[in-house]
Amino acid sequence: MMEGDTEKIISILKSKNFSFSPSISTKSTRYQVLWILQTIKDNTPFKRASSHTISVVLSELMEIDVDEKRARGALAKSLDMVKVHKESDKAYYEIMIKGRQFLSNQSEEDALSERVYAKNSKYDFYQDFKGIVANAKDRLFISDAYLDDASFELYINALPIAIRNKMNIELLINSNNPKGNLCKVANLLKSQNPKLEVRESPDCHDRFLIVDDSAWIFVQSLKAAGNKPTYLVRMKNVSPLESVFESTWSNSKKIV
């Protein structure tokens, strides 16, 4: 590819009056990046694109603000779904079959899911939350102000060992709340999985879960969930929650 190819790609897509689904704007950055790569491959002669081209197409054609750094970050998490072509000192990405399958699977899960629990439904909540966590493949993030070692073991152990020992696991707690043996237990797993990280922040209040490219909000802290009436809701728009997480996470203190 050469300088000016980004403009050519945009011109081609505009000339075809290409229609973008509004729901794309509510998806995760990784979904958006892969979707653009699929669109370019299927509708232009270029077949692949740089992170710069992807960010420009998202901005100019879809009015989605994803800068090049963020696009590169999403691509770095998708290397099993794309083929990287190196030309001079630049990298260009081509979506592969696994990337298309990922987009297809995500499209099938567009509907907002919600689960409501009556008082004293701790086991029902546990089973549902554990099931969501167990399906994680490469990323698990939990924000819970009162997360403790018991909850950590209860849900992290739901992950298959092979995945648990290599995936990105990020936990955010409130710095003003007691931690119990959370750090001690987390450090044991970190000795097997260097990608595990625990941070604390006084801004950690709301409780939410991000598993790969899906996100959930839960009301009660995991250690008490189900004692009182509560609910678990899947977010239809993942991007805003990711932005909140990234902002709070970057300003938090690492403790494991």
Q: Extract the residue ranges of the chain whose pLDDT is less than 70.
A: 1-4, 17-23, 106-112, 178
Which residues in the chain are classed under CATH 1.10.10.10? 5-106
Domain span(s) for CATH 3.30.870.10 in the chain: 111-254
Interatomic CA distance for residues 61 and 20, integer angstroms: 8
CATH 1.10.10.10 fits domain 5-106:
yes
**71 phi and psi, to 5 degrees?**
-65, -40
Q: Which residue has the tokens 């152990």?
A: 157
What pLDDT is stored for residue 111 in this prediction?
45
What's the pLDDT at 2?
Answer: 62
What is the structure's pLDDT at 107? 64
Distances (CA, A) of 45 to 7, 27, 87, 233: 13, 26, 17, 41
Instruction: Compute φ and ψ for 199, nearest 5 degrees.
Output: -130, 160
| Bridge partners of residue 93, in order along the sequence | 49, 84
**The pLDDT of residue 103:** 85
DSSP letters, the chain, are --TTHHHHHHHHHHHTT----GGGGGS-HHHHHHHHHHHHHHHSS---B-HHHHHHHHHHHH-----HHHHHHHHHTTTTTEEEEEETTEEEEEE-HHHHHHHHHHHHT-S--EEEE-TT-HHHHHHHHHHHHHT-SSEEEEE-TT--HHHHHHHHTTS-HHHHTTSEEEEEE-TTS--TTHHHHHHHHHTT-TTEEEEE-TT--S-EEEETTEEEEESS-TTTTTSSSEEEEE-S--HHHHHHHHHHHHTSEE--
Tokens, residue 138:
């490469």
- Is the CATH number 1.10.1660.10 carried by domain 111-254? no
Q: Which residue has the tokens 């939410």?
A: 208
Q: Can you give the pLDDT at residue 186?
A: 93
* Residues 178 and 118 sit within 8 Å (Cβ to Cβ): no
Model pLDDT, residue 160: 86
